[in-house]
Amino acid sequence: MSAETWAKRLQQASVGGVAPVLAEDLAALMGDTAGLDATLLDARAQKAALVFVKTKLDADPTYNRRFADKTELPWLDKLLTVARLRELAAVRIGKAGRSTGLRYDIGGFAATHYGRKILESLGHKVRRTSVDKEAFEAIKAACARLKLTLPETVEPTTTERFFSSEER
């Protein structure tokens, strides 16, 4: 019975009411529950839900996108925060020189939960995939307030690609 309850609670915490876990999955993680009173059964179901979500988040941090910004479950909020920060820290930002000036590819940054929140707080459009140096500095400053340093990957210009192919 508690497996259904916790599956339902996780469904309520999800975006769009899509069930991120089935009661059968939780029941399988609970093990033998014969003879357990209701309190222990509920505690074991909660532990199974925690283990299930943590395993999914460890395997794929983008799994956090299935859940709402804030849930009613404090342990789930903590797991989601860690996964969302890990996802944000793994973002690679490409730098490319163009005829219009230096641009930064922030498509991967904008795809993350906290990346979207930072861009929204700075007034950028949700679908924006590249920014100029000034906007990128504002993004870096916002990330610095979170004590997060964004890694940059330098993309070679067309001229650099041309001359590097001649050297070989």
Whether this prediction's pTM lies above 0.75 is answered by: yes
Per-residue pLDDT of 83-95, as tens digits, reads 998 888 888 888 8
What pLDDT was estimated at residue 168?
Answer: 44
The H-or-E segment that residue 153 falls in is strand 152-154
Residue 167: pLDDT band with limits 50, 70, 90 = very low
Per-residue pLDDT of 50-84, as tens digits, reads 999 999 999 988 889 889 999 989 999 999 999 99
42, amino acid identity: D
Q: How far is the C-alpha of 47 from the C-alpha of 74, rounded, in Å?
A: 13
Q: Which residue has the higher pLDDT, 6 or 100?
A: 6
